[in-house]
Amino acid sequence: MLGTMARLRTVLAVVGLGLLLSACGYNTIPTLEEQAKARWSDVQNQYQRRADLIPNLVATVQGYAAQEKSVLTAVVEARAKATQIKIDPSDLTDPEKMKAFQDAQNQLTGVLGRLLAVTENYPDLKSNANFLALQSQLEGTENRIAVVRRDYIDAVRVYNTALRTFPTLLWAKTVFSGNKPMAEFAANEGAQAPPQVKF
């Protein structure tokens, strides 16, 4: 009888401890970290989709605008640079690696804009079905990139906040003391400046 009571108390203590741990935020930090890593995977997926579209876009434009070789070369080089910089989930806490990744992606965005501006000089190209489909896919991908970046930024904000607020701060300082805040995307330099419109 006495052994049964001791076992019952042990079981109740274990269940009580489990409930206490689940209610106090112990699982919050790993859960939020995994959500942020998943959002990062979404970001990489959309950037890869864009990188995969670029060779077809360049090939289509090249057939019409061979004299725009410098722009086409810049797009190919920027794509190569952007796809060389890889950020895995362990690098999400390194602001320098995130900045290098973001800078390479921003450079690719800039040269793609120049490429699409060049195409305005070629009416036959603008009416080409392949070009129109690729342009539409690229625009859709740019929109998806904006959405997944926003989702990543939000997931990182929630995770970083959990590392600094009570009660998860207790776990962050003890059990998860190796967890560092994740780096966020920063706005491009000059993003706050209004665009210049010239007529």
Would you place residue 5 in the very low, low, confident or very high pLDDT band (cuts 50, 70, 90)? confident
Tokens representing 48? 């890869």
pLDDT, residue 179, reads: 93
Name the average pLDDT for the chain.
85
Residues 6-16, mean pLDDT to the nearest whole number: 75
Tokens representing 136? 């539409």
pLDDT, residue 189, reads: 63
Q: Which residue has the higher pLDDT, 194 or 182?
A: 182
Q: Which residue has the higher pLDDT, 194 or 100?
A: 100
Second-level CATH architecture of 27-173? Up-down Bundle (1.20)
Distance between CA 191 and CA 34 in Å, rounded?
30
DSSP count for the chain of H helices, then E strands? 7, 0
pLDDT by residue (tens digit) across 80-106?
A: 999 999 888 889 999 999 999 999 999
pLDDT by residue (tens digit) across 46-74?
A: 999 999 999 998 888 888 877 788 888 89
Q: Which residues of 50-73 are buried (b: 16+ CB within 10 A; e: fewer)?
A: bbebbeebbebbeebbeebeebbe
pLDDT, residue 3, reads: 72
Would you kindly state where each structural domain of the chain is located, as residue ranges? 27-173
Query: Does the pTM exceed 0.85?
Result: no
pLDDT, residue 195, reads: 44
